[in-house]
Amino acid sequence: MLLRLVHSLARLDAVEPLPHRLCRAVVDVSSARHGAISLGITAAERTLLCASSEYAARFEDTQELVREGPGLEVLSSGRAVVSADGAETLRRWPGLVGALGTGSVGMESVVVHALPMRPASSLVGVMTVHHLESPSAPPFDPSDLQFLADAVGAALVGDQTAHHDPSRMWSERDRISQATGMVVVQLALGPDDALAVLRAHAFAQAVSLAEISRRVIARELDFRTGLGEGGA
């Protein structure tokens, strides 16, 4: 799963900011119609970071206006929120649907997943994806969506386990810098994207950024081939 996200990210135009490309990569990998990422741990702090489409941006902004919606529920509960179709969305958030208007977007056939991004078990924001219902396409596994949300959160906010030993810190920074350069070459990414890939992979493997960097430098992990990829 993570390798698919990495390769999708590598195919996108590097002119766009990293958060926007991460959002588009999530939409691609999850076969969604729309997607958005917001940061913040409370509704009052919530800030829309990026959206894959005008509709996704309007969906997020309207939640702020009417003070209801799946993203706000995630921030209040800390749990994923799913709306199976337009009827459920209307029942749960009538103010949101009324402000959006449903005729032009076919909301009756849209499944909305709003997921907490919680790298290192700490809530940092919400990832929302909109899927069109289709009898020929089984619904995306919610556990895969949650994995993507957590990995994207890790890529955006970085390593939250930094220590305070200066000599070790500088040694690890050098290692991370070297590994970032190797990922730049492997995937033809910019440095910021390459570092985000390392962070997301560290989250997925439940190890530190320094350890993932060591594996890249030791050629135990190669993102071109998936060598060393566990369960992507």
Q: Answer whether residue 188 is part of any domain.
A: yes
Taking CA atoms, 192 is separated from 5, 58, 168, in Å, by: 15, 28, 23
- Which one-letter DSSP state was computed for residue 138? P
Q: What is the CATH number of the domain that holds 200?
A: 1.10.10.10
Residues 82 and 194 in one domain: no
Please identify every stretch of the chain with a pLDDT value under 50, giving residue numbers as ranges.
Answer: 104, 159-167, 169, 230-232
Residue 76: the pLDDT is 94
Residue 138: the pLDDT is 56
Residue 217: the pLDDT is 94
Residues 198 and 109 in one domain: no
Residues 153 and 187 in one domain: no
Residues 184 and 152 in one domain: no
Q: How far apart are CA 62 and CA 85, in angstroms?
A: 18
Residues 43 and 89 in one domain: yes
Taking CA atoms, 140 is separated from 17, 192, 219, in Å, by: 27, 29, 33
Residues 116 and 176 in one domain: no
Max Cα-Cα span within the chain: 60
Residues 179 and 152 in one domain: no
Q: Answer whether residue 230 is part of any domain.
A: no
Which residues neighbour 11 within 8 Å (Cβ) at sequence distance 6 or greater? none
Single out the residue in 110, 138, 157 at which a domain terminates: 157
Residues 101 and 170 in one domain: no
Cα dihedral 113, 118, 119, 125 sign? positive
Residues 9 and 124 in one domain: yes
Q: Answer whether residue 228 is part of any domain.
A: no
Q: In terms of residue numbers, what domain contains 213?
A: 166-217
Q: Which residue has the tokens 């900011």?
A: 17
Q: Answer whether residue 232 is part of any domain.
A: no
Q: Answer whether residue 43 is part of any domain.
A: yes
Residues 97 and 26 in one domain: yes
Residues 89 and 170 in one domain: no
Q: Answer whether residue 223 is part of any domain.
A: no
Q: Answer whether residue 135 is part of any domain.
A: yes
Q: Answer whether residue 227 is part of any domain.
A: no
Residues 92 and 137 in one domain: yes
What domain count does the chain have?
2
Q: What is the CATH number of the domain that holds 134?
A: 3.30.450.40
